[in-house]
Amino acid sequence: MKRIFVINPGCTSTKVAVYEDEKAVWTSDGLHKPEEIERFSGVNDQYEYRKDFVLNLLKEAGIPLQFDAVIGRGGLLKPLHGGVYAVNELMKHDLWHAKHQHVCNLGSLIADEIAHECHCPAFMADPVVVDEMMTRARYTGLPFMKRESIFHALNAKAASRRYARDIGKKYEELNIVVAHLGGGICVSAHNHGKVIDVNNALNGDGPIAPERSGTLPADQLVRLCFSGKYTEAQIMKMLAGYGGCQALLGMKDMREISRRAEAGEEPFHEVLEAMLYTVSKQIGAMAVALAPFGGTDAIILTGGIAYSNYCVDDIKRQVAFLAPVVVLPGEGEMESLAFNALGALNGELPIHEYK
């Protein structure tokens, strides 16, 4: 039996879990008080606080630092193929100096320090920068701009593997469109185990989302940038953080938005209808990406919003003609991290070197 410790930092929590092989024997949502997070000026400044927070959770639960592996959620590194990576010095350097600052960058850093105390390996798996895009999907209409692959790779691949297992097949045998529906929304085209196209779910591309603007009219965005009314930082926040439903409705709580939309309350109904329409259009686009490779075997709806029957039914109505729609709500990230670590320890999954 392998004992694995999983660390998954998010904006308002640091989720942790202990697995014995594939079974979770202890979990904690690791919720942070808003005032604790708000006192830090940047993501890197949260490192010591989050590390001590995790260690205190273990101490309070009476769990000794005795693990066969520690795995952390991957961060915004250089583009990588999917899979399991051993945490090394170069990876830690790049996480500390990442171009894009996000709290997920801390996952592997904390994992490495705890693993050092346990004298066991530290891993990262399927980070948000998994890049397996086909060449033609990278192009834009300008030679000095290329589309980037930044998305919820961990959950998208985990949901795909779960679906494949449920139908008695391997992930690498299927063509799947996966819509991760969360605070950010990504829709990815999976061709036999590789994500050949996906919208950039971080920096303003794809569907309208609870807190992200999605694709905007280019001319209007350019004029906004040169209007003199906003700083670069303010406009970037409009794209991710204060865009989407947050900008249109003044909130991003999808349970409340769905409830009010289902009741026919405006503008909630109209805005949610528009958001789900953009999601459905993106699913259609990813079905086109898979068409040359034999079409789409299934469309998976996952993430927190997939718990909403109202939202799921609306998307199904628009895309069910393309392929069977499968609903796998939630994120499954902890389970997927543990699965990857166990596979690496057992020699079933290769351990890649970050270089």
Q: What is the pLDDT of residues 128-142, one digit of tens each?
A: 999 999 999 999 999
pLDDT, position 202: 84
Contact 238, 221 (CB under 8 A): no
Yes or no: say if 193 and 172 are a contact pair by the CB < 8 Å rule: yes
73 pLDDT tier (thresholds 50, 70, 90): very high
Mean pLDDT to the nearest integer, 319-325: 98
Q: Report the pLDDT value the prediction gives residue 216, as an integer from 0 to 100.
A: 97
Q: What is the structure's pLDDT at 204?
A: 80
DSSP for 314-334, written as a single string: HHHHHHTTTS-EEEEEB--HH
Looking at the chain, the whole-number percentage of residues with pLDDT higher than 70 is 100
Q: What is the pLDDT of residues 29-40, one digit of tens each?
A: 999 988 998 899
Q: What is the pLDDT of residues 197-210, one digit of tens each?
A: 999 998 889 999 99
Is the bond into 350 cis (omega within 30 degrees of 0)? no
Mean pLDDT of 285-312: 97
Two tokens, residue 147: 């589309």
pLDDT at 12: 83
Per-residue pLDDT averaged across 52-76, rounded?
A: 96
Q: What is the mean pLDDT of the chain?
A: 95
With 90 as the cut, is the pLDDT of residue 241 above it? no
Helix, strand or coil, per DSSP, at residue 172? helix
The pLDDT, as a whole number, for residue 34 is: 84
Higher pLDDT, 290 or 183: 290
pLDDT at 102 over 90: no
| Alpha helices (runs of H) in the chain, residue ranges in sequence order | 34-38, 47-60, 89-96, 106-118, 135-138, 153-166, 218-225, 232-239, 244-249, 254-262, 268-290, 309-319, 333-345
Asked if residues 87 and 122 have their Cβ atoms less than 8 Å apart, the reply is yes
**Inter-CA distances, 243 with 146, 210, 236, 334, Å:** 23, 8, 9, 28
Q: pLDDT value at position 301?
A: 98
Q: What is the pLDDT of residues 142-194, one digit of tens each?
A: 999 999 999 999 999 989 989 999 999 999 999 999 999 998 999 999 999 99
In this prediction, residue 131 carries a pLDDT of 97
**Per-residue 3-state assignment (H helix, E strand, C coil) for 94-140:** HHHCCCCCCHHHHHHHHHHHHHHHHCCCEEEECCCCECCCCHHHHEC
Instruction: Select from 127, 47, 44 the least CA-distant residue to 85.
Output: 127
pLDDT on residue 3: 98
